[in-house]
Amino acid sequence: MEKSIRLRKNREYTVVYKKGRRYWNHQFTMVVKKNNGPGTRVGFSVNKKYGNAVERNRIKRQLREIIRLHYDTMKKGYDIILIPKKNTKELDYHQLEKSVKHLFHLGFRPKKKVKK
């Protein structure tokens, strides 16, 4: 994943956490905030409770690859943080990919108009 499409600094993560909107499913929590830039930037946050360094790095590698493959289809102009839950350890790559795509669908679907 290129550096230009990654969240890298602590303050970037802090802004997204504080002002972003949260979406979740059984495997992930996603925090999304609109940015002023032309592209979408993605970051990952894996807690130490998730497992040892090998397990944490493995899930981050898999998520980076999923984002790399689907980046062109993502909506532009957002900062996104993906946070895996503990139960993602048992999933294979294709199940992870399906779960992330579902989460993107939840986060970027058109808003329903409420009739008054």
Question: Over the stretch 60-104, which tens digit does the pLDDT of each residue have?
Answer: 999 999 999 999 988 899 999 999 999 999 999 999 999 999 999
- pLDDT, residue 111, reads 66
Rounded to an integer, what distance in angstroms lies between the CA atom of residue 70 and that of residue 18?
A: 26
Structural domain count, the chain: 1
Q: Is the pLDDT of residue 36 over 90?
A: no
Does residue 94 form part of some domain? yes
pTM, rounded to two decimals: 0.89
**Are 66 and 6 a contacting pair, CB within 8 Å?**
no
- The pLDDT assigned to 41 comes to 95
55 in a structural domain: yes
28, part of any domain: yes
Q: For position 108, what pLDDT does the model report? A: 78
In a domain, 115, yes or no: no
Report pLDDT for 57.
97
Residue 75 lies in a domain: yes
Which contiguous run of DSSP H or E holds residue 57? helix 53-70
Q: What angle do CA 45, 42, 57 make, to 5 degrees?
A: 40
Which of helix, strand or coil describes residue 114? coil
